[in-house]
Amino acid sequence: MVRFTVLASGSKGNATVVSGGRTRILVDCGLSCRELFRRMRLMGEEPETLDAILITHEHSDHVGGVAVTARKLGIPVYFTEGTHRAWMRWLQPRRQMTYAQWLEMIRKQAAERQAEPQAAVGEIDSPEDPGEVAVENSVPSAVPVPTDPAPEPSSGRPPTLKDDPTWLPAIEYFSAGQPFSIGDICVNPFTIPHDAADPVGFVFSSEGVRLGFATDLGYIPPNVREQLRDLDLLLLESNHDLEMLRDGPYPWSVKQRVLSRVGHLSNDAASQFLAADYDGQAAYVILGHLSENNNLPELARVAAERALLGRASLLANRLLLAAQHEPLSAISF
């Protein structure tokens, strides 16, 4: 059986479980490990049965819980090399310092700790999704402050999160345009336009069922249009209503980022694709990554319904909305 379960979708965290044959993959891990496991169990999915985690891009709403979750389950994480590097840079900005700068930082931190014993953790900037500005970047929100000049991995055992926040049980690289398999699921990654190092969407296939996955993209270029065909299920971003975004509270620069060709897909852009380019084949169309500030579920739904007019039936194009705060019922084939 093939099953598709969206656990969370939006700029406060993304996570979806794709099951096919005996294989289960978690696509993006933007919830804390605890919340992820809670939602999985709520949906009848056992976290311990996950075989791998697959990452679309390094924004915090897609990777926030990946290190803790992969460690806890002892499973590999699949990234593109560019995404993995960007994720490591985010977690370890100190590695880019010279040794002299690093010594100086340690000296200052030691002095600060002496002055104020409570303040032991430093904040870092993380690459946030431009879809929302008030992102609650809870995990990981901070880089551990090294207490020793050279934290040495203890023999045989993996380093702790504090010693090395980028340590993972296993890392597998993939490249856009080169399909590969994880167990019984074939994964076809494709490049999407978004302001991240090497962002991708996916088409998953297993047991003859094809699932398309495309969120966090500024527009739909021809290569993405090509991929999103002959699907049984399509998860497509419908991030914002253009008027709500234009009239909304965001600073002009953030509005520009969201609207840009490496930002997010508007309701209009999603509908335009559904009306003009989509082949109408999918049994389910799920709208995802809806903005909580610049969209309303009803606006996204009405725009897509209009675009799919005449195509919706019991057998095709059932329209569903993925949400931020609660999982969407599992869809099985």
Judge whether 240 and 288 are in contact, CB under 8 Å: no
Reduced 3-state DSSP string for 71-114: HHHCCCEEECHHHHHHHHHHHCHHHHCCHHHHHHHHHHHHHHHH
Three-class secondary structure of residue 211 per DSSP = strand
Distance in Å, CB of 106 to Zn ion, minimum: 33
59 is a site residue for Zn ion (CB under 5 A): yes
Q: How many residues bind Zn ion (CB under 5 A)?
A: 4
Query: Considering only residues 28, 35, 45, 61, which one is a binding residue for Zn ion as defined by CB under 5 A?
Result: 61
Pick between residue 59 and residue 311 the one whose CB is nearest to Zn ion.
59
Least separation, in Å, of the C-beta of 78 and Zn ion?
A: 17
Q: Cβ closer to Zn ion: 35 or 216?
A: 216
Which region among 56-64, 79-87, 155-163, 317-325 touches Zn ion (by CB under 5 A)? 56-64
Does residue 70 contact residue 168 with C-beta atoms inside 8 Å?
yes
Residue 271, classed as helix, strand or coil, is: helix
Dihedrals φ, ψ of 159, to 5°? -65, 155
Q: Which stretch binds Zn ion (CB under 5 A): 1-9, 124-132, 152-160, 238-246?
A: 124-132
Q: Is 216 in the site for Zn ion (CB under 5 A)?
A: yes
Q: Does 129 bind Zn ion (CB under 5 A)?
A: yes
Q: What is the dihedral of CA 199, 59, 55, 161, to 10 degrees?
A: 140
- What does the CA dihedral 211, 214, 219, 225 come to, rounded to 10 degrees? -20
Q: Which is nearer to Zn ion, 20 or 218 (CB)?
A: 218
Nearest Cα to Cα of residue 163 among 67, 63, 35, 86: 67
Nearer to Zn ion, 60 or 271 (CB): 60
Q: By CB under 5 A, is residue 198 in contact with Zn ion?
A: no
Nearer to Zn ion, 216 or 232 (CB): 216
- Binding residues (CB under 5 A) for Zn ion: these are 59, 61, 129, 216
